[in-house]
Amino acid sequence: MAGSARDQRFRAAAAALRRRMVRRIVAGGGLADPAWRAAFAEVPRHLFVPVYYRGGSDDAAGHGRFAADDPDMRRRLSWLTGAYADQPIATHVSGGELVSSSSQPSLMALMCEALDLREGHRVLEIGAGTGYNAALLAHRLGGTGAVTTVDLDAAITAPAREHLAAYGTAAALSVTVVTGDGAFGCPAGAPYDRVIATCELPAVPPAWAEQCRPGARILAPFATGLVVLTVTGPGRAEGRFLSTPAYFVPLRGRAAGIQPPAVGGESSLLDRHPARTRFGLTVEGRRQWIWLDRPDGPDTWPVPAASSF
């Protein structure tokens, strides 16, 4: 009985922290769509981050590691509070290098709403992470097998499957988790209506646009920002950057070791420019370029990394 009462208090604390997280995102101007607000209010982030690290790595004494099964109740409650803080948290560290994380919830909310999802859409997510973002997408679309998420490393996809199973809703269980190189997309689930990447890109893999329907939307972190592309034909897409800066773990796999392109000779140009929404990106297969104001204008910069795909 004592254990049951303790579990009930823990669940109540998690629900309260989740409500607070949603209130703060809404107060900051996010989650205007009631369907997305419901997804963030109902999907329990803490189930997807049973272990995470502060400072990006676990020190020798274990002070950087927070876990759901910590025998110290104070540290366990600290883990729960951190799971619902509006901040990114490192979830997978290998050799001292961060290879996977759970993004800042308010940034996730912005990206989810920017996708402009509709009922019946099929979504490809590049970068499975903890499975939390896939669970949010699946909640929004319903338990129809509409979401496919891909990650290079089985050490990431296996826990993502476990987290989705632990959540256990029909929508969560309908997510297809694939271990593979995200640069190639996932042809088995194509055609897609939306592609969302949760990793920094050196270029947009042509396979993504090739696996999309005409009019599909691709949202990806690129050159310290977020670009939203509309697919206009086979292997072709074009769009502009959102106003929000964004920094993600780099895409791994075929493009490993390739740095994101400089824009105008300086990688920080978008950060310094007063209106990053004036910048856009055009994808024509392996020919890709960033532009200021218009694709055929005088200020354009090629994306040389595109030739690597």
Mind telling me the catalytic residues? Answer: 100
Torsion from C-alpha of 135, 138, 140, 146, nearest 10 degrees: 160
Cβ neighbours for 259, distance < 8 A, ≥ 6 positions apart: 202, 305
How far apart are alpha carbons 120 and 129 in whole angstroms?
24
Token pair for residue 129?
């992470």
Nearest to 124 by CA among 197, 173, 181: 197
Rounded CA-CA distance 81/121 in Å is 34
d(C-alpha 139, C-alpha 33), whole Å: 14
Residue 188 DSSP class = G
* Cα 2 to Cα 6, 52, 185, 216, distances in angstroms: 6, 28, 49, 52
Q: Are 84 and 66 in contact (CB under 8 A)?
A: no
